[in-house]
């Protein structure tokens, strides 16, 4: 039975009034607020998602949102990357269908520098605009706010006289091995674990064949800085046993630093596989753009290198400046199972309201009307409503709103007095 719900925020807690026999709800209803313009048009959602995809690679500091061995984390189209003191782990995704709820398969590639030691520290490049926030589970002490990201990170002295630098360039992920004067680079060996095979193609690229497609390291670009200019050194890969590759170099000046620069390109079936998918776009009164969607990611440390089904997905909310050139925040919200966002509204202060559906038993709650999952429906779940602060780094309130036979949320709107109206269906 369709139900219309009004929520008003009191000084200390939430109060709600529900009225039955409301007008039938529709899952595809346009969503809006008094202060913003909303759209679900595929073109607008794709444009906002392209803005997200066109942002520079972001190397996010681990402040407890990931396993403790992770130092930095990066997202890209079709894969995630975890940087640790001993290895770099690429998690490659392949969607089963158009929506994350259809399931995500993943496989992993692990890159090491053979013979490497624990770095003697990490250095960070320029801090990028925008922060990330993580609200996972019901323990507020585990929530992470205002997590910064950087344009590059450097593992110092992975071997004596060798630094490993990760960064993004022209939408490609690259790493540099920076070799100090007097250090012999011919002994440097990079190994990849998780590929079915590895070869050097006619163009000199290193091709890794995985379960889902190919990952390609372009022919290494090697150079030295002489008189303020790059002087190129001819180089090629030399395959070694057990999925290793070394670098064969032409003569160079051993009294100057040397940079070995292979670009990493993800090809074939990974392209278009987006672990973060957009559903709704809202523009607030100031022109800022909000993208609501769902994000799927595997859980480090990936004891099984390949999984055929993903545990679940979570809400994803990104806010961009009016020009669409800078991320203001990216916020993740979810629990231990499937969390699917449906609707978004933004008030005049810039607070975002997210209506969704969850089957998580530990979905984040704060001053809730209903604090636990009550749905027994394996297909549906409970409706959820969450309000964020304007900075996106805290929850004002968050609640379940369900029934034992399950509910499906639909439209969401705001009133001048701060009340929130939404529609849902009981299954």
**More confidently predicted of 20 and 427:** 427
390 part of a folded domain: yes
Residue 47 phi, psi dihedral angles, 5° rounding: -65, -40
Question: What does the alpha-carbon distance between residue 190 and residue 353 come to, in Å, rounded to a whole number?
Answer: 47
Question: What does the alpha-carbon distance between residue 205 and residue 297 come to, in Å, rounded to a whole number?
Answer: 29
Across 21-169, where does the E strand assignment appear?
Answer: 37-39, 59-61, 70-76, 79-84, 88-95, 104-113, 122-124, 131-136, 144-147, 149-150, 152-159, 162-169
258-261/382-388 β-pairing: unpaired
Question: What does the alpha-carbon distance between residue 57 and residue 277 come to, in Å, rounded to a whole number?
Answer: 17
> 84 and 48, same structural domain?
no
How high is the pLDDT of residue 107? 82
Mean of pLDDT values over 379-383: 86
What pLDDT digit, counting tens, does each position of 315-372 carry?
999 999 888 888 999 999 999 888 989 999 999 999 999 999 999 999 999 999 999 9
Of the three residues 270, 286, 316, the one that is the final residue of a domain is 270
Q: Give the CA angle between residues 403, 295, 360 to the nearest 5°.
A: 30
DSSP 3-state assignment of 268? helix
> 302 and 245, same structural domain?
no
Distant-in-sequence, close-in-space partners of 114: CB < 8 Å, separation ≥ 6: 189, 190, 191, 244
Q: How many Cα atoms occupy the beta-carbon half-sphere of 256 within 13 Å?
A: 16
225 part of a folded domain: yes
Residue 226 phi, psi dihedral angles, 5° rounding: -130, 120
**More confidently predicted of 288 and 31:** 288
Q: Give the CA angle between residues 42, 418, 343 to the nearest 5°.
A: 20
> 334 and 230, same structural domain?
no
> 259 and 279, same structural domain?
no
Q: Give the pTM.
A: 0.85
**Looking at the predicted structure, is the pLDDT value of residue 140 above 90?**
yes
Buried b (16+ CB within 10 A) or exposed e, 344-382: bbbbeebbbbbbbbbbbebbbbbbbbbeebebebeebbb
Q: How far is CA 53 from CA 24, 50, 78, 123, 225, in A?
A: 36, 5, 11, 25, 32
What percent of the chain clears pLDDT 90, i.e. is strictly above it? 52
**Looking at the predicted structure, is the pLDDT value of residue 4 above 70?**
no
What pLDDT digit, counting tens, does each position of 95-132 carry?
776 655 566 777 889 999 999 999 999 999 999 999 99
> 280 and 177, same structural domain?
no
Of the three residues 270, 291, 323, the one that is the final residue of a domain is 270
Rg (C-alpha) for the chain, rounded Å, is 24
Question: What does the alpha-carbon distance between residue 349 and residue 286 come to, in Å, rounded to a whole number?
Answer: 10
Tokens representing 303 are 């004891």
> 388 and 283, same structural domain?
yes
27 part of a folded domain: yes
How high is the pLDDT of residue 324? 80
Q: Supply the mean pLDDT for the chain.
A: 82
Buried b (16+ CB within 10 A) or exposed e, 132-152: bbbbbbbeeeebbbebbbbbb
Count up the domains in the chain and report the number. 2
User: Do residues 327 and 318 make contact, with C-beta atoms less than 8 angstroms apart?
Assistant: yes
Owning domain of residue 125: 70-138+148-270
Of the three residues 270, 290, 321, the one that is the final residue of a domain is 270
H/E stretch holding 195 reads none
What pLDDT digit, counting tens, does each position of 179-214 carry?
999 999 998 999 999 999 999 999 999 999 988 888
Q: How many CB atoms lie within 10 A of CB 42?
A: 9
H/E stretch holding 43 reads helix 42-54
Question: What does the alpha-carbon distance between residue 297 and residue 311 come to, in Å, rounded to a whole number?
Answer: 9
């Amino acid at each position: 039975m369709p139900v219309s719900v009004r929520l008003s925020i009191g000084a200390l807690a939430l109060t709600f009034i529900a009225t039955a026999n409301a007008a039938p709800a529709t899952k595809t209803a346009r969503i809006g607020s008094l202060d913003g313009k909303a759209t679900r048009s595929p073109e607008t959602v794709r444009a906002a998602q392209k803005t997200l995809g066109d942002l520079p690679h972001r190397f996010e500091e681990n402040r407890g949102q990931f396993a403790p061995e992770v130092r930095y984390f990066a997202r890209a189209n079709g894969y995630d990357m975890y940087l640790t003191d001993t290895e770099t782990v690429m998690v490659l995704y392949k969607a089963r269908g158009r929506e994350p709820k259809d399931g995500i398969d993943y496989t992993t590639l692990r890159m090491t520098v053979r013979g490497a030691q624990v770095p003697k520290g990490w250095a960070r490049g320029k801090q990028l605009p925008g922060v990330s926030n993580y609200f996972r589970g019901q323990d507020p002490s585990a929530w992470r706010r205002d997590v910064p990201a950087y344009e590059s990170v450097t593992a110092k002295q992975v071997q004596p006289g060798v630094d490993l630098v990760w960064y993004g360039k022209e939408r490609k992920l690259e790493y540099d091995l920076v070799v100090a004067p007097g250090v012999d680079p011919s002994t440097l060996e990079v190994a990849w674990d998780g590929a079915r095979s590895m070869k050097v193609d006619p163009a000199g690229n290193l091709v890794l064949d995985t379960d889902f497609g190919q990952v390609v390291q372009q022919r290494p670009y090697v150079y030295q800085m002489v008189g303020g200019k790059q002087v190129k050194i001819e180089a090629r890969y030399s395959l070694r046993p057990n999925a290793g590759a070394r670098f064969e170099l032409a003569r160079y000046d051993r009294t100057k630093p040397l940079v070995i620069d292979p670009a990493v390109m993800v090809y074939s079936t990974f392209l278009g596989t987006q672990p973060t998918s957009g559903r709704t776009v809202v523009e607030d009164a100031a022109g800022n753009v909000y993208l609501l969607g769902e994000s799927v990611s595997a859980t480090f440390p990936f004891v099984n290198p390949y999984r055929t089904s993903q545990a679940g997905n979570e809400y994803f909310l990104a806010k961009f400046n009016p020009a669409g050139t800078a991320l203001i925040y990216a916020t993740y919200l979810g629990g231990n199972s499937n969390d699917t966002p449906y609707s978004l509204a933004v008030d005049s202060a810039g607070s975002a309201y997210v209506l969704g559906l969850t089957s998580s038993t530990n979905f984040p709650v704060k001053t809730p009307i209903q604090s636990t999952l009550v749905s027994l429906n394996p297909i549906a779940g409970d409706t959820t409503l969450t309000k964020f602060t304007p900075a996106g780094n805290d929850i004002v309130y968050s609640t379940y709103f369900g029934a034992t036979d399950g509910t499906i949320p639909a439209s969401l709107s705001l009133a001048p007095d701060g009340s929130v109206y939404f529609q849902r269906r009981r299954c």
